[in-house]
Structure 1
């Protein structure tokens, strides 16, 4: 007789949470339809309950959560009209509604940018950049901290995945710490790892193409407001916030973590050896630098020197990198390293947001939650502060900023459109909330890059939270300050 081993406790927990998620979805569908909410809107809210539980507990993979979302939507929407007065949908029509997210230009942009990240990794250019920066900044606690932040910013310009960026940086930071004769869990190791994770979140705010949550937020904003934000507009608007938060991170990490650095001769020799081991810049790296530079120029001059949007420019760059002789990779070699599950999740998240908006569920949910705060009589600064605090608290339960953006931004758009402000102010309020989506500073579980750094064992949850709480309150204070001063002068609010 064959004996089967019992399932691992972790598998049992995941199965239990999956059952809870499906149960929550079914429970929402079986409730009486509230006044002001359509039957299809009730299905959308049930799907929202389903995926929030899936994303918070991570009981299934991101791609699996996307499949469950689409399948559940088709089954739930069958026989119901999408909008009031419409015809009941068949399964094919319901499926078409949920596949709308896959046709979004934002999904194409994410896929293209992930191929760019693969090119950096295949050529080794990401490692070269990180090593050169760390070897040039000098060996002291302050200089190494600045070096970690510079590396994070440079890579954020070209790598749209926080996980990929931090995955490239971690070995360098560990090497620097070990080269100084210190354990990874030393005060210096903890500082470099925490700064790497926190700086990644900060630079996610600054660079439009730096994080998937930016693109998913902009997709919803473009659909609702019928206007786009260029790469340069996003960067300039976010610049006062990201610069200020970078300065705060520098001083907070040094004051709270107090990293200690021993005499640095050995570290200099180790870093010099690592840089020398890279060898001369290869032709592939030169070609990649050329394409990356052209991309950066084209992104930053969008709508000014040329009419091409960010997605088109990115696709042209990827096409160049895939060309024979001039390119640096082949499709067969690159596709194996692209996280396709991330792309599927991204598209499904957009589909959910579209469904929430088209069925009126986002408007209804905004009215019964944010609408009860009485913000329609408050100033713009008070509205921005209240919505930002709401987002920050909600983020404590999310491990994915992409999931948070899919959930939150449609609700924010629906609520902002009920406020007695002009169109530009309403758009600016939502744009600021898109920045706040990246505020994953407090817990290691609030962002994948946090967990990567936490996995090195360099710091404790308490150390991370100590820095993160200060960063969060500082960020909230800066948002209020900028909303009252610089952003109105820039025409954002």
Structure 2
């Protein structure tokens, strides 16, 4: 551990104890104040990245179990919650169906890696697009969209696309520091973030919001409905991304060797293997069942994903054995994800989120504003605080419960409250500005193909355009289709 990490840990504990020692406001239960102290502790750890995210998850669970356990209940202040009850609350997120969907998604991403099917799909699409820089940009955006349908991990998609793009750049006789490399790699990470919004299963942070919505509103959003709501925004943003990238970064003159590189990489993969064919069948069936949820069948997205995992684990007809796949699953991701949901649920159940909402958003007079104005202010706030977060999952864990509390606190509203929560979740996937704003950005930044300044140069107009589209959609399309 370096000095910076120790400073981050020290600051997290300092913030925790300061909030614990502050006078308890009359409008906030004591347990709520203690949960807010844990939230502040968690945010400092997440922002500073003082410890790995799974380590922060264990620390958060520990603090919740102790501090909530030693607090008087809201219903009867003479009775303590007890650490057993509090620990159950602290790990309550592990029972969320959203965690099951994320786990299934990780197995699907591992299947793609083991078979190499994601690489074959990417190379096939790129081979059909062409080798002119503008066509390569189109190909990169197209690959990002197609892989988002089948690979439910933004980092895994970046890990697939970026090596292929670097191979194409090398085939043109250019270095990683060339403008073409910067153009293609930045396009890749920005389009990955764009389609994290458009597709429900494309990113884990989407499941965080759905987990909270299921707990608080007793509702889920079907894959097809999410696509109907968000895909038009992502399609328009993909078009705008093409124009922004091709106008901002003018690549070097190239020869046509890149096309040969794509074909040679594709040929090197050989013929389709039986396990690839089986994975295609499972993936297509899964996509069909996701997209027709509630239309042709009553099975929810999590259930069909878990069934797909079970099939992939079957001998002879499956994709992998447990021994092969268990080492490729980032179990720490699941722990972080479930802990984030637990923290959000405890924030809501202890009235901490409600108090925080009333003293921030409601104090700004949002309750008396039009729905478009509310969206505009909340989305701007969302974008600004994202600058300090390296994990959209962590941001969703901290922010979405507060938005839910705001919605439930508005007694009479002329708009759909859960819809507002969902739109804020769309904005949480805005990771366009800095390398530290998204894991896929960090992975790409590690290739040394672009600078922070280059990413920011493209990220600012993309963020502004995306923000304006959020407002425009809130005033029109999302009201027409019943989201707001």
Scaled by the length of structure 2, the TM-score of the pair is 0.98
* SS at structure 2 position matched to 1:417: helix
Q: Which residue of 2 is the match for residue 154 of structure 1?
A: 146
What is the deviation of 1:84? 3.2
CA distance in 1, matches of 2:206, 2:97: 13
1:125 aligns with 2:143: no
Are 1:322 and 2:313 counterparts? yes
Match of 2:3 in 1: 12
Cα distance, 1:27 vs structure 2: 1.5
Q: 2:446 aligns with which of 449, 455, 461?
A: 455
Deviates more, 1:22-31 or 1:38-47: 22-31
Whether the 8 Å contact between 1:140 and 1:261 is mirrored in structure 2 is no
- Compute the RMSD of aligned alpha carbons: 1.2
1:93-104 aligned within 5 A: 93-104=85-96
Contact 2:371 2:415 in 1 (8 A): no
**2:232 corresponds to 1:249:** no
Give the structure 1 partner of residue 214 of structure 2: 222
Contact 2:123 2:164 in 1 (8 A): yes
Tell me which residue corresponds to 1:115. Answer: 107
- Residues 1:144 and 2:136 aligned together: yes
Residue in 2 that maps onto 1:207: 199
2:345 aligned with 1:354, yes or no?
A: yes
Aligned residue pairs, count: 483
State the distance in 2 between where 1:128 and 1:421 align: 52
Q: How many angstroms does 1:325 deviate by?
A: 0.3
Structure 1 segments unaligned to the other structure (5+ residues): 1-9
Alignment of 1:298-447 (within 5 A): 298-419=289-410, 422=413, 425-447=416-438
Unaligned runs of 5+ in 2: none
Q: How does 1:261-276 map to 2 (within 5 A)?
A: 261-264=253-256, 266-276=257-267
Pair 1:474 & 2:465 matched: yes
Equivalent-residue separation in structure 1 for 2:281 and 2:219 (angstroms):
31
How far has the Cα of 1:35 moved from its partner?
2.1
Deviation at 1:222, TM superposition (A): 1.6
Offset, 1:393? 0.5
Q: Give deviations 1:378-435, integer Å, cap 9, x for gaps.
A: 1111111111001000100000000000000000111122336547521211110010
When structure 1 is superposed on structure 2, of 422-431 and 239-248 the one drifting more is: 422-431
Deviations 1:304-340 (A, max 9, x none): 1000000000001111111000001011110101001
Equivalent in the alignment of 1:7: none
Indicate yes or no: 2:13 matched with 1:22.
yes
Distance 2:358 2:253 in 1: 54
- Mapped to 2, the partners of 1:43 and 1:405 lie a distance apart of 20
Asked whether the 8 Å contact 1:399–1:447 carries over to 2, the reply is yes
Deviations 1:414-461 (A, max 9, x none): 112233654752121111001001011111110110011111111111
**Contact 1:54–1:65 under 8 Å retained in 2:** yes
Shift of 1:131: 0.9
Matched residue, 1:89:
81
| Matched-pair contact (CA < 8 Å) for 1:106–1:215 | yes
Matches within 5 A, 1:50-89: 50-85=41-76, 87-89=79-81
Distance in 2, matches of 1:219 and 1:275, equals: 40
Aligned-residue offset at 1:260: 3.1
Shift of 1:79: 2.4
Matched, 1:240 2:232: yes
The answer as to 2:282 corresponding to 1:291 is: yes
Deviations 1:122-154 (A, max 9, x none): 001011111111111001111100111111111
Name whichever of 460-469 and 266-275 sits farther off: 266-275
